Structure 1
Amino acid sequence: MPGEEEKNAAYDSDAPSTEDEDSEDDYIDEAEMKAPPSVKKGRRGTVMAAAVTVAPDWAPPVFEKSEKEKEDLINSIGKNILFSELESKELDIIIRAMKRIEYKEGDNIIEQGAEGDLFYVVEEGECEIFVKGVGKVMEIGGFTSKNRNYFGELALLYDAPRAATVTAAGKVVCWGLDRVTFKQILQDSTQKQRHLYKKFLEQVPVLSPLSVYERLTIADALAPQHFKEGDKIIVEGSEGYEFFIVESGSVICTKLVDGVEKTVSETLGPGDYFGELSLINNENRAATVTAQEDTTCLSIDRKTFKRLLGPLEGMLREHQELYAKYVEDAKSAD
């Protein structure tokens, strides 16, 4: 059973959890339960329901803001995976479209069961989140809060009713983004990313046996992660939660052999993969993987990996034999 922290995150009025994959998969958000079956779900709940249709002459609204307000808003929504991969132009449209809204103590900013119309970022003040039959489940602060200070996005993505009521605990200043702008920008970004990932996955040899539909499903589940030169992407002995495909850059695998760090693979570049062995064998990481340069990897969480790549387990195990050979070669080099 999930702990209280996971429950709070799930009940939270809609943002995806930033906790580990297991806790998110083990406790389903109320809004997620109401999502239509056709919704595609990727890592960390990156989803998109039906497309929104707008008039040909539609243009996103623009509300004036100071440079400081823009900076604070960018820092806030940058914590949310839904916005983290947007191009600067798309992010600018979203920031410009946010409207400043004030609430007084006791005002309900959103009500459980209501239709979702806005995504909110709290600038100042404190909000309390309530769920019917449960009571108060958490609080959300403003720009100065160390925790996330936004809510309301999943109801817009799912076209689902609000999963909780959010009430102003005192004077609250929020920035609201309308549903149409929210979905227009994210739809366009999601579709472009999906196309790029589909083309990239067609070049990954281990995925060649998969159908076009299966590769599209994987493309929807991929989450990009960026690493600087020298960053350790996985560490020998740690638990394995993700499978990685190198999109750009390069990595090297090393292992402690008789107390000495030894290279146990060739350099891995675009299209190469790593991290599958601990997921297949349910073991801790067998080696350390380090970025040799600035590198981007596409990752799939453990449960998604087993669901989508289970049919390829035989091919993936061949990598295990090659890895064992490199370890033996490293020992022989002594």
Structure 2
Amino acid sequence: MSEEKNEEIPYDSDAPSTEDDSDDYIDEEESKVPAPVIKKGRRGTVMAAAVTVAADWAPPVYEKGDSEKAALIDAVSKNVLFSELAQAELDVIIGAMKKLEYTKGDDIIKQGEEGDLFYVVEDGACEIFVEGVGKVMDIGGFGSVRNFFGELALLYDAPRAATVTATGSVTAWGLDRVTFKKILQDQTQKQRSLYKTFLEQVPVLQPLSVYEKLTIADAMAPKTFPAGENIINEGDEGFEFYIVESGEVICTKNLDGKETEVSDPLGPGDYFGELSLINNENRAASVKAVKDTTCLTIDRKTFKRLLGPLESMLREHEELYSKYVEDAKTSS
């Protein structure tokens, strides 16, 4: 029952991907770049290997003005890797960024070399080149569609898969590998534990093993909806399965030209959107947020792979839904 909301995976000069995934956006330039050995997913293991630090380790701190901090927070918050970090974690990331200056023609990173920094460009422009392919993308400064690069070599401990060259004077901010991985690693572990605890309270998932629940927890992406917003619309193609984490939603259907409620309110632990994915049909009803709501979502491919064994239990929802529709028709 969902509008198609494709989640764009940020281009990275270290390891661009061309894996075919109908739920991921791949632009024309990215499609020219060879795929890396490590495949990406919508969610999943964030680091190839956990980073270990000494007990007295502390991230570096480089002084910045308030305007610089605000601009960096705005820039990194748009990156899917950092979008779910708490403010305290963002503050650590921003504090650890070091200001770097480059001149025209400087190679900021070189293909094949070991990655040591993640970069956010403040001012200036860069070009990305891949051997055997040529130029594949431009990188701009703050306010540009793409103003960062270098993350996947750090995430996956892989060599740089491209060269990034300054086309003029460039001001950038670099984040070291250890801080980068430590913050994201801690965030991923906390998020995984939080989702696992929540999933243990979802009745329909009880037959799954601990491992299967952890796999689902890794695959989930949170989405928030303000009160009154339609989360999915009747008649649309279905791309996601939803579990209500917080808030409340209601299912409605157009019956004789009137939007009619066809379910009880659904709250934390309740789910919706499964029938369209199971039956390969368009959404049979709309679902609207009654109050500010957060849902955990699973894309179609992951739903089919992870929740296929629960199909018979999920279909029980279909019988209840049909009963609500018939009752609604009778009462109207």
**Which residues in structure 2 correspond to 1:282-297 (within 5 Å)?**
282-297=280-295
Matched, 1:118 2:117: yes
- Shift in Å, 1:22: 4.4
The answer on whether the counterparts of 2:122 and 2:142 sit within 8 Å (CA) in structure 1 is yes
What letter is aligned with 1:110?
I
> For residue 37 of structure 2, what is the aligned residue in structure 1?
33
Relative to structure 1, is the Cα distance of residues 32 and 281 closer, same or farther in structure 2, using a 3 angstrom cutoff? Answer: farther
Matched, 1:187 2:189: no
The answer on whether the counterparts of 2:244 and 2:269 sit within 8 Å (CA) in structure 1 is yes
Matched, 1:158 2:151: no
> For residue 172 of structure 1, what is the aligned residue in structure 2?
170
The answer on whether the counterparts of 1:233 and 1:288 sit within 8 Å (CA) in structure 2 is yes
The answer on whether the counterparts of 1:129 and 1:164 sit within 8 Å (CA) in structure 2 is yes
> For residue 21 of structure 1, what is the aligned residue in structure 2?
23
Partner Cα distance (1:182, 1:225) in 2: 24
Partner Cα distance (2:193, 2:44) in 1: 19
What letter is aligned with 2:46?
V
TM-score (norm 1): 0.89
**Which residues in structure 2 correspond to 1:26-65 (within 5 Å)?**
32-34=36-38, 43-44=42-43, 47-65=46-64
Partner Cα distance (1:172, 1:128) in 2: 11
Partner Cα distance (1:34, 1:331) in 2: 52
- Shift in Å, 1:58: 1.2
The answer on whether the counterparts of 1:126 and 1:141 sit within 8 Å (CA) in structure 2 is yes
TM-score (norm 2): 0.89
- Shift in Å, 1:239: 2.1
Q: How many residues align?
A: 319
> For residue 203 of structure 2, what is the aligned residue in structure 1?
205
> For residue 276 of structure 2, what is the aligned residue in structure 1?
278
Q: What percent of counterpart residues are identical? A: 71
- Shift in Å, 1:64: 1.2
What letter is aligned with 2:54?
A
Structure 2: gaps spanning 5 or more residues: 1-6
In the alignment, which of 263, 266, 274 is matched to residue 265 of structure 1?
263
SS at match of 1:83: coil
- Shift in Å, 1:208: 0.6
SS at match of 2:81: helix
- Shift in Å, 1:325: 1.5
Relative to structure 1, is the Cα distance of residues 81 and 286 closer, same or farther in structure 2, using a 3 angstrom cutoff? Answer: same
- Shift in Å, 1:227: 1.5
Partner Cα distance (1:44, 1:133) in 2: 30
Relative to structure 1, is the Cα distance of residues 152 and 16 closer, same or farther in structure 2, using a 3 angstrom cutoff? Answer: farther
SS at match of 1:271: coil
What letter is aligned with 2:50?
A
> For residue 108 of structure 1, what is the aligned residue in structure 2?
107
- Shift in Å, 1:225: 1.1
> For residue 307 of structure 2, what is the aligned residue in structure 1?
309
What letter is aligned with 1:191?
Q
SS at match of 2:82: helix
Partner Cα distance (1:44, 1:169) in 2: 34
Structure 1: gaps spanning 5 or more residues: 1-5, 36-40
In the alignment, which of 321, 324, 330 is matched to residue 323 of structure 1?
321
The answer on whether the counterparts of 2:46 and 2:185 sit within 8 Å (CA) in structure 1 is no
Partner Cα distance (1:70, 1:182) in 2: 17
C-alpha RMSD of matched pairs (Å) = 2.4
What letter is aligned with 2:310?
L
Partner Cα distance (2:16, 2:156) in 1: 12
What letter is aligned with 1:294?
D
> For residue 225 of structure 1, what is the aligned residue in structure 2?
223
